[in-house]
Amino acid sequence: MSESIVILTEEPLTGADVRNINSLREGTDAGLVVLVPADTERNLLVDFLENLSLLDVARAFRELGERGPNATEARAEASVALEASLAALRAAGAPVSGEVVEGDPVAALVAKVGQTGASQAVVVTRPHAISDTFHTDWANKAQHKLGLPVLHLYSGSGFIGDS
């Protein structure tokens, strides 16, 4: 691969995500590297406020009492998301590899961009009202650390986040 694009996603890529990502490859032979974090850390206050901001009051209070996934569950969920994403990208004809990453997802993205010499980075997430508003989302953090433009896509929507 002469070029690569590193993708950090918190859930399986959808058809819309694959189309958007493949549009970045047009006219190049860029390979794709997908990273899915096995993230078990939760910030209850941020999750609560985010659900409230999305007017999902029932979910906000329900999730206050829930435990986050344990490490084994989180890794299994991340592996399923990775395999689904790799399959979707391969079906669209993209040369792709990927891995489940532990620890800080942004640090993993930055490290992989450095390893591969990637020309682009893409972050695919659900909308996160609090972190997106205060520019503490993965895309903003990665852009600050990389000095590269980081495309922030909202999963399944085709909408571009503000990073």
The tokens for 61 are 């209070």
Which H helix or E strand runs over 161?
Answer: none
Task: Tell me the pLDDT tens digit for each residue of 63-74.
Answer: 766 665 667 887
- CA distance readout (Å), 136 to 16, 82, 145: 25, 24, 12
Query: Is residue 64 in some structural domain?
Result: no
- 8 Å CB contact between 81 and 36: yes
Query: Is residue 51 in some structural domain?
Result: no
Per the model's pLDDT, the better-predicted residue between 109 and 46 turns out to be 109
Per the model's pLDDT, the better-predicted residue between 9 and 141 turns out to be 9
**CATH code of the domain in which 103 resides:** 3.40.50.620
Query: Is residue 138 in some structural domain?
Result: yes
Query: Is residue 130 in some structural domain?
Result: yes
Query: Is residue 136 in some structural domain?
Result: yes
Give CA–CA dist 116/58, Å, rounded.
43
- CA distance readout (Å), 47 to 14, 16, 65, 101: 23, 26, 12, 22
pLDDT value at position 140? 81
Query: Is residue 11 in some structural domain?
Result: yes
Task: Tell me the pLDDT tens digit for each residue of 140-157.
Answer: 888 889 887 788 888 766
- CA distance readout (Å), 149 to 5, 58, 87, 144: 12, 37, 26, 9
What is the pLDDT confidence band of residue 136, given thresholds at 50, 70 and 90? low
Residue ranges making up the domain that contains 108: 4-36+71-154
Per the model's pLDDT, the better-predicted residue between 118 and 55 turns out to be 118
pLDDT value at position 138? 76
Give CA–CA dist 110/27, Å, rounded.
25
Query: Is residue 21 in some structural domain?
Result: yes
Query: Is residue 145 in some structural domain?
Result: yes
pLDDT value at position 2? 61
Domain count, the chain: 1
Give CA–CA dist 117/3, Å, rounded.
8
